[in-house]
Copies of this chain bind each other. A is one copy, B any other.
């Protein structure tokens, strides 16, 4: 239950002006940690804010994402999914029902620093994706 005040502060901390729409979208992500798509966010919020445009949802999500306030997940072949929980963690996507769940990951198993040195690169983001069948779907596929 992220309050409006907390959400406003969160955005401000990322130097994002907390407009009414931005607060609504950020708050939605906090309260619905299911990695929704832009369209799902819009559908859910337009029921409460009938004037909310889809463009604003897209614009806001890229703004938040670029500022580092949210994460953009490329786990799905068709659409981007968004995550308001930005602490380092991995994701599992069920190939049958599409559900995306959080999975813990050891922060230092990924060896960022050593990879950066080895390849002379700068790593700014890391994503670990697992795909397969969730506990509800695995039976349907002889597992």
A residues in contact (CB < 8 Å) with B: 72, 74-77, 80, 92, 94-95, 101, 103, 106, 109-112, 115, 119-135, 138, 141, 143
- Give Cα A137–Cα B30 distance, bound, in whole angstroms: 35
The smallest beta-carbon distance between A65 and chain B, in angstroms, is 10
- Give Cα A103–Cα B77 distance, bound, in whole angstroms: 22
| Minimum-distance CB pairs A-B, first 6 | A120-B135, A109-B109, A124-B132, A123-B132, A125-B131, A122-B132
- Stoichiometry, copies per complex: 2
Dominant secondary structure at the A interface: mixed
- Give Cα A124–Cα B137 distance, bound, in whole angstroms: 13
Q: Interface centre among A121, A128, A131, A135, by most B CB within 10 Å?
A: A121
